[in-house]
């Protein structure tokens, strides 16, 4: 029975622990800054194979000591992206498989460096975007002989928007600001290029509803590195309801809150409500040639909240946690088959969809 440590008992980590525990085939330790949060979750959901604990990554020696006290097989970080290099260092020192949800390009680069020569797998970007969207897109690319254009579009939106931003805080505010503020990566003319966040504006219609899309950082994952020189154009954009991008530009550029992200975070968390009534939109489109003719193939999926373990979970929680659990499960089934830095595109879409945690993407 694999034994894993989940760091962070927030929106995603709590569901990850619940999903893994519910199989009866994982021993899970769920850690947060205080014991109250994971203990309450374990009690509320009756998670008999989850051990709650209190750990603070800002005290890496204490985390390392805890890790060394148990025969863990892997560590899962559902902490803010800037905590992940510390967790990766601990995983490397204790020979554990490592998984995270980061969208941050620089952090992924640091994890890659830490993983050099490791005999365990280091797999960042295991969430939705990057993560599942990377696996979907890589599968579509494999259906073509040559690739012209690759579009990746993902959004997590309130079903019933009720404010001027037409948005709700469905996940990490730090991660959201990071995506809106940091330089993006894309491919143009076959070459990897930097793209400015909040630019590249376009509109797209799905199921009769109009959305806007614009550049955000990190969603492309490692695909640009994998496919540069083999794809003419590739980019990732976030989906929002029309009008959102203009207002975020006002906040971040005109009011210069990009230079004061803590203030921006306080404003958003004070004014923008959270919701569990959300919808996750997943869209990928690839244009290329088959037998000398030009074709386009698309993948479109909408995911809504559902009840799991007797509790309602939001669509973004479900898709992110499920994607991560699929990757963890595939690795733990064949732990010796994965080592060093492993990208999301290493995993086959059909294996993810057939996995016991992939049902939200099949329905």
Residues 221-261 have pLDDT tens digits of 999 999 999 999 999 999 999 999 999 999 999 999 999 99
Is a pLDDT exceeding 80 seen at residue 116?
yes
pLDDT at residue 363 in the model: 67
Inter-CA distances, 4 with 24, 126, 223, 311, Å = 13, 16, 28, 23
Q: Residue length, the chain?
A: 363
In this model, does residue 170 exceed pLDDT 90?
no
**CA 273 to CA 255: how far, in whole Å?**
22
What is the tens place of the pLDDT at every residue in 326-361? 999 999 999 999 999 999 999 999 999 999 999 999
Give the Å distances, CA to CA, from 124 to 30, 87, 117, 221, 288: 19, 11, 16, 9, 29
The encoded tokens of residue 255 equal 């009011």
Distance CA(307)–CA(310), nearest Å, equals 6
pLDDT of 154 above 90: yes
Query: Which band of pLDDT confidence, cut at 50, 70 and 90, is reported for residue 172?
Result: confident
pLDDT, tens only, 44-90: 999 989 999 999 999 999 999 999 999 999 999 999 999 999 999 99
Give the DSSP letter of residue 336.
G
In order of their start, the domains of the chain are 3-124 (3.40.50.720), 132-309 (3.30.360.10)
**34: part of which helix (H) or strand (E)?**
none
> What are residue 193's DSSP bridge partners?
186
Residues 38 and 53: beta-carbon distance below 8 Å: yes
- Mean of the pLDDT values across residues 105-118? 96
d(CA 233, CA 314): 33
Neighbours of 352 (CB within 10 A): 24
Evaluated on CA atoms 108, 109, 110, 116, the torsion sign reads positive
Q: pLDDT at position 38, please? A: 96
* pLDDT average, residue stretch 31-37: 96
| Residue 327 and residue 321 in contact, taking contact as beta carbons nearer than 8 Å | no
Distance CA 136, CA 68 (A): 37
- Residue 144: per-residue pLDDT: 97
CB 318 within 8 A of CB 301: no
For all residues of the chain together, what is the average pLDDT? 95
**What 3-state DSSP class applies to 329?**
helix
Q: Is 307 helix (H, G, I), strand (E, B) or coil?
A: strand
């Amino acid at each position: 029975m694999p034994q894993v440590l989940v760091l962070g008992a927030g929106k995603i980590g709590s569901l990850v622990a619940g999903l893994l525990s519910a199989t009866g085939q994982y021993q899970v330790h769920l850690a947060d800054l205080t014991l109250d949060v994971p203990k309450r979750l374990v009690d509320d959901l009756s998670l008999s194979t989850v051990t709650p604990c209190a750990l603070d990554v800002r005290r890496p020696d204490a985390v390392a000591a805890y890790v060394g006290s148990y025969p863990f097989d892997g560590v899962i970080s559902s902490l803010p992206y800037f905590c992940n290099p510390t967790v990766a260092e601990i995983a490397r020192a204790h020979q554990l498989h490592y998984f995270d949800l980061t969208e941050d390009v620089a952090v992924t680069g640091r994890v890659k460096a830490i993983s050099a020569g490791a005999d365990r797998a280091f797999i960042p970007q295991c969430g939705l975007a990057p993560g599942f969207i990377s696996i979907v897109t890589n599968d579509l690319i494999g259906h073509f002989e040559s690739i012209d254009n690759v579009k990746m579009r993902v959004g997590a939106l309130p079903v019933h928007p009720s404010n001027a931003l037409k948005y709700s805080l469905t996940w990490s505010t730090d991660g959201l600001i990071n995506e809106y503020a940091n330089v993006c990566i894309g491919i143009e003319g076959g070459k990897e290029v930097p793209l400015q966040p909040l630019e590249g504006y376009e509109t797209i219609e799905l199921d009769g509803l109009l959305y806007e899309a614009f550049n955000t950082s990190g969603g492309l994952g490692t695909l640009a590195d994998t496919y540069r020189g083999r794809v003419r154009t590739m980019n990732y954009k976030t989906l929002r309801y029309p009008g959102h991008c203009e207002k975020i530009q006002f906040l971040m550029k005109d009011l210069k809150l990009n230079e004061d992200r803590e203030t921006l975070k306080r404003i958003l968390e004070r004014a923008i409500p959270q919701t569990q009534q959300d919808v996750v939109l997943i869209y990928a489109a690839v244009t290329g040639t088959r037998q000398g003719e030009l074709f386009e193939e698309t993948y479109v999926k909408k995911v809504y909240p559902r009840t799991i373990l007797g509790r309602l979970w939001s669509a973004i929680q479900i898709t992110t946690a499920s994607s991560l659990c699929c990757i963890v499960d595939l690795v733990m089934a064949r732990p010796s088959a994965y080592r060093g830095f492993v990208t999301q595109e290493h995993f086959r879409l059909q294996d993810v969809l057939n996995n016991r945690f992939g049902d939200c993407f099949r329905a």
